[in-house]
Amino acid sequence: MKLVPMRRMGTRCNVIMEQPLFQHNKPGRCVTFAEYRDEGGFAALQKALKELSPKQVEQAVSDSGLRGRGGAGFPTGRKWSFVPRDLPGPRWLICNCDEMEPGTYKDRVLLEANPYSLLEGIVLASYAIGVRHAFIFIRRGYETATANLQRGITECLAAGLLGENILGSGFSCTIDVHSSAGRYICGEETALMNALEGKRANPRAKPPFPAVKGLWGGPTVVNNAESLANVPGIISKGPAWFKALARTPEAAGMKLFCISGHVVNRSCFELPLGMELGEIIEGPCGGMRPGSRFKACLPGGASTPYFSAEHWQVPMDFDPVAKAGSRLGTGGIVIFDQDTCLVAATLNLVRFYARESCGWCTPCREGLPYVVHVLETIEAGKGSREHIAILQDHIKLLNYAFCALAPGAMGPVQGLLNNFMDELEEHIDKQRCPFKARE
C-alpha cells in the first residue's frame, strides 16, 4: 500500500507519510504560531464568532460524526448538547490530557507538534457551550507539551484570540493549564474534577452527571485533547469534509493511532478511521519485525481485549471493533509476536491497574489484586482449571466497580479467555509457562 502525503489546513501536521512523521522517542519540531496562522489556523474561530451562533457550532460538530478520541467514543456534539443553558452560574470545559494508559501517547505527540489546534478547538467548544474559563488537565511528565501550551496561550492572548472580547465579538474565554498529580485514576472525568478542585482523586457517583453538576457544582464538559483538536477543521471545512476523511461511510474523520510492540515502525500515525488492522500493520507500521509473526494486539490501549490473527481484516473504527469483541479505545495498538506469553503480558497489565486503583470501592480495591494473584499462580505453573472459572467470574464481578477502571483492567483478561484459552490451558496442563521453556 502506498501512503499518500496529505495536508489538512488548520489542523496538526502531515497525516501519513512514506516515513513515520513522529517517532515516539524522537519528537518532531513544533509548528510556530505564525506557521499555524499562515496555513489557515484560527480561520475557524474567526468564522464561528462572526458568522455562526453557538448552537450552529454545536450542530456542525454533531453533524460531523466526531466521537470522543479519549477512549469512550461518545459523540462529541451530543455531549455538548447535554449542558443546560438556563442554569445560573458559570459553566466549565476541561480538556483531559492526563494520558497515562500504557500503549497510549497520541496526545503528547499532538501537543509536541502543534498546540494551537487544541487551543483553537477549546475556544470553539467554549463558545458553543457558553464557557468563559476552560482548563487543560495534563499529565505531569509532559513537560514539552505543557511548555508548548503555555507559550501558545501567551501568543493567543497577545493576538486577541483569547481573553476578553475575542476578535471584537463580545465573547470572552481564558484557558489555564493544570499539571496532574500523576495517577491513572485522574483520567476518569469525575476523579479529574476532584483533583482539579484540590480534593482526593476519587470518582464521583453518577447521576448527577458532569454536564449538569460537575466542577465546583457547575455544568461541565470533559473532552479529550484529540477530540477538541478536530473541531477547527470541522468548523472551517464543514461536517461533510470531515466525514469524507474516513475510509468507510459509517466512519467519520481521522484518528491518531499510536503504535508500539513488535513491528518495524513504532510511531504515531494519523490515519482514516475504517482502515483494516492488517492494512495498518503492513502499511505505515512496515510489517512485523524480521523473524516475527503476528500473534495478537491490544487494538485500543491497555484496557481493551486482545485481537488475534482472526481479526486481521477488522476495520479500525468504533462500531466494527466493538462488534468484533474489543474497543477502539484510545487507538493505542500494542502488537505482540509469536514469542510473547500472553498470560505474562496480561499479568503485567493487571498489575498496573491494581497499583493505580484509588481504593475507593471494594470490587476494584480487592478484586484486582486477587486477579493478579490468580494470574501469577497460573504463570508460575501452579494453576488449575478452577482458576479459569475464577477469572471468568471476576470479569462479571468487577463490572460492579464504582468507575470504569476495574472493568477496563479486565479487558485484556477477557481477550485472553476469548481468544487464547489454549495458551491458558497449556500453562495449567503442563504446569509451566511454555514460553519460558523455550528460553
Helix (H) or strand (E) holding 133: strand 133-138
87-117 confidence digits (pLDDT tens): 888 999 999 999 999 999 999 999 999 999 9
Round the average pLDDT of the chain to a whole number and report it: 91
pTM of the model: 0.90
| pLDDT digit string (tens) for the chain, length 439 residues | 333 333 332 333 333 333 333 333 345 689 999 999 999 999 999 999 999 999 999 999 999 999 999 888 899 999 999 999 888 889 999 999 999 999 999 999 999 999 999 999 999 999 999 999 999 999 999 999 999 999 999 999 999 999 999 999 999 999 999 999 888 999 999 999 999 999 999 999 999 999 999 999 999 999 999 999 999 999 999 999 999 999 999 999 999 999 999 999 999 999 999 999 999 999 999 999 999 999 999 999 999 999 999 999 999 999 999 999 999 999 999 999 999 999 999 999 999 999 999 999 999 999 999 999 999 999 999 999 999 999 999 999 999 999 999 999 999 999 999 999 999 999 999 999 988 756 5
pLDDT at position 72: 86
User: Does residue 27 contact residue 271 with C-beta atoms inside 8 Å?
Assistant: no
Burial 385-397 (b: 16+ CB within 10 A, else e): eebbebbeebbeb
Q: What percent of the chain has pLDDT over 90?
A: 87
Residues paired with 85 in a beta bridge: none
Per residue in 371-398, pLDDT tens?
999 999 999 999 999 999 999 999 999 9
Please give the backbone phi and psi of residue 230, each rounded to the nearest 5 degrees, phi first: -85, -15
Structural domains in the chain plus CATH codes: 31-243 (3.40.50.11540), 253-336 (3.10.20.600), 342-438 (1.20.1440.230)
Q: Which residues contact 228 (CB under 8 A, 6 or more apart)?
A: 95, 118, 121, 122, 125
Helices vs. strands in the chain: H and E counts, helices first: 20, 10
DSSP 291: T
Distance CA 154, CA 163 (A): 10
pLDDT at 129: 96
